[in-house]
Amino acid sequence: MTSKKLRTIIFGIIFLVLSILYTMLFAPNGNVRLMDSYDLLFHMNRIQSLSNIFVSPVNFSSWGHVGNMTSLFYPWLTIFPGFLIFQLFGNPVLGFLVYLTVINFCTFVSAYYFMKKFSNNTLQSFLFSIIYTLAFFRAASVFYRAGLAEYISYIFIPMIFYEFYQLLIGKFNKWPLFALSFALVVMTHPLSAFTTAIMLVPLVLLVLFSKTSHSWKYWLDLVYSGVKSIFFVGLTTIGFTLPMYQQQKYISVNRPAVIDLWSTAKDPVLLFQDAMKADVRSYSFGAIFVFALILLLIFVWRDQLKYKIIAIEAVLALLLSTNLIPWNTLQDSFLNYLQFPWRFLNPFTFFIAIYLSHILAMLVDKRSGLLKVSVAVVMILICSFQIYVSGTKLNGQITLVKDTPVVKQSESNYIVRRYNQHDYYPNRSLKYFQDIGRHHFIVNDHKTKLHYKYTDSNYTVKYYNQDPVTMDIPVLVYKGLDVTINNEKTNYTISKRGTVEVKTKPGQNVIQLSYHYSTVAKAAIGLNVVSAGLLIWLCVNDGKLLYKKKKDTDTKELKSKNS
């Protein structure tokens, strides 16, 4: 066995062990706690509701059985592996813990792989992987906020910035990989894609300090690569964006809460004070990154250009997370979708982790292998200790969730499926949220309870009356609803509650509701799949549409080297 293979195996074992320990700290008793919000139940429901996603955008077994169409408003592609894990283990809590372990492991591996390609330094790559994955702010997303989509995005962020770096240094044939990585983030967490896009803009300006950019051809090629990337990102996410847009045009839905940006931006003084504490509820970045910022101030002045740019990006991201930015003037712009300016601590975590790993590796570069191993071990211990202390402290704190603060494995299927929430509800349904959630039917303007049955894709109610009645069924109306009475398709209207209203027939009525994808949605998904296949082909074939023989390429490269 070669030393390279042995090193890969050792790193893999370390990453796996750390991933398992991380999950054990998250759920020390094998059960999960809801910390001050129901966000964890929200994401577990998102995963569990994917059982019929290929035939219907609505799962009646989930979301309190009211027909919430969350899957069409929140991308689900990268949580589908979680659904397969849920199915394998047959338990939402156990499945989620295994899925979290997989996510942690993939984050370690992605961070190491792309930093190795960027720096060509094994120690720096390993250190970055540890510092990035075990970062304090990421722990806040995992342990406290339960921001599943946000910390899944951590897997793809190293790929995005590495492939964009490739474009900036003139390797324009790498644009398909950049487009693919960005599309993956869009299909995971659009807000992370939004903050990432903002952080890409300064890089385009800062590359002016590089001699590589001092030609018109460079900028023409860069712009052309950017246009192709944007075009393919659009095509490979259209299966999500177009159906969502169609639904929003059909009916007004409740978007996630509009929050005052100024009030959620971090006060710079408090940000640094909180960094020295072990409380992930503070949404700070931890003591390790305070040390990293000190090192940045010491070494950045004589560093390589690319690391100077990384340092500038870290400082910019940190600045954007604070109220030094006039967020109050931006409140009425599209930026209010950001909700929390402290989301910029995610890219800050990425850039400062790069810089810290770079400085540590540089300081021991000419030293013995034993010292390098010692630095790696010490950083594992320090980062793990920070996570252990903060995680243990959080586990000992009282949660604000009063109803079901702990989700036990034995009860998880029932608790997850009954969970209901009003994000993406039709707006007219909001004031009837409790009423709909309690499954109150309205028959001829009288509220009543009727027996109903559901499967993943169908909702059925039986009703008998000698006279026709007007029935308001507690199922939300979106585009794509089918209603049948006694197996015959029937018309329906939208009630004042935003629910299904039908006219029954005399006698026995078997009313069945189901949802289908619209023609526009089917076409968009089909185009998405074809575009994704084409993009993957372009990634494999160095951005060329026609097949490129690798042997010919290798021969040309060999000849150019010999000449």
pLDDT digits (tens, 9 = 90+) for 82-92: 999 999 998 89
Q: Please answer whether residues 178 and 160 qualify as being in contact, where contact means their C-beta atoms are separated by less than 8 angstroms.
A: yes
Which tops the pLDDT comparison, 108 or 409? 108
DSSP 3-state of 407: strand
What is the H or E stretch that residue 196 is in?
Answer: helix 190-206
What is each CA distance from 167 to 85, 224, 350, in whole angstroms?
36, 11, 19
State how far Cα 354 lies from the chain centre.
21
Tokens at residue 20, please?
């398992």
List, for residues 189-213, the tens digit of each pLDDT value: 999 999 999 999 999 999 999 888 8
pLDDT tier for residue 551 given thresholds of 50, 70 and 90: low
Q: Please answer whether residues 57 and 476 qualify as being in contact, where contact means their C-beta atoms are separated by less than 8 angstroms.
A: no
pLDDT above 60 for 183? yes
Q: What are phi and psi of 159, to 5 degrees?
A: -65, -45
Alpha carbon distance 251, 449 (integer Å): 27
Alpha carbon distance 426, 421 (integer Å): 12
pLDDT tier for residue 550 given thresholds of 50, 70 and 90: low
Tokens at residue 386, please?
């920070």
pLDDT of 256 reads: 76
Q: What is the 3-state secondary structure (H, E, C) of 309-328?
A: HHHHHHHHHHHHCECCCCHH
Tokens at residue 242, please?
């177009």
Distance between the two ends of the chain, CA-based, in angstroms?
36
Measured at the CA of 135, the angle between CA 295 and CA 86, to 5 degrees, comes to 165
Torsion angle defined by CA atoms of residues 243, 246, 250 and 254, in that order, rounded to the nearest 10 degrees:
70
pLDDT tier for residue 409 given thresholds of 50, 70 and 90: confident
pLDDT above 90 for 333? no
Alpha carbon distance 232, 354 (integer Å): 28
Alpha carbon distance 264, 277 (integer Å): 19
Measured at the CA of 221, the angle between CA 110 and CA 532, to 5 degrees, comes to 45
List, for residues 3-56, the tens digit of each pLDDT value: 888 999 999 999 999 999 999 999 998 888 888 888 899 999 999 999 999 999
What is the percent of the chain where pLDDT is above 70?
97
Alpha carbon distance 327, 2 (integer Å): 54
Report pTM: 0.92
* Burial environment of residue 381 by CB neighbours within 10 A (0 to 12, 13 to 18, 19 or more): exposed
Q: Please answer whether residues 187 and 195 qualify as being in contact, where contact means their C-beta atoms are separated by less than 8 angstroms.
A: no
List, for residues 65-81, the tens digit of each pLDDT value: 999 999 999 999 999 99
Q: Please answer whether residues 76 and 448 qualify as being in contact, where contact means their C-beta atoms are separated by less than 8 angstroms.
A: no
Q: List beta partners, residue 513.
A: 459, 483
Q: What are phi and psi of 549, to 5 degrees?
A: -70, 125
What is the H or E stretch that residue 80 is in?
Answer: helix 80-89
* Burial environment of residue 26 by CB neighbours within 10 A (0 to 12, 13 to 18, 19 or more): buried
pLDDT above 70 for 299? yes
Mean pLDDT of 277-305: 93
pLDDT above 90 for 332? no
pLDDT above 60 for 558? no
Mean pLDDT of 251-262: 85
pLDDT of 561 reads: 46
Q: How many CA atoms lie within 13 A of 437 on its CB side?
A: 13
Q: Please answer whether residues 163 and 118 qualify as being in contact, where contact means their C-beta atoms are separated by less than 8 angstroms.
A: no
pLDDT of 548 reads: 67
Residue with the two structure tokens 């897997």: 155
Alpha carbon distance 255, 545 (integer Å): 40
What is the H or E stretch that residue 463 is in?
Answer: strand 458-465
Which positions ≥6 away from 70 have C-beta within 8 Å? Answer: 45, 46, 49, 63, 423, 424
Tokens at residue 309, please?
């740019």
What is the percent of the chain where pLDDT is above 90?
79
| Residues, the chain | 563
Tokens at residue 490, please?
């029937």
Which positions ≥6 away from 124 have C-beta within 8 Å? Answer: 115, 357, 358, 360, 361
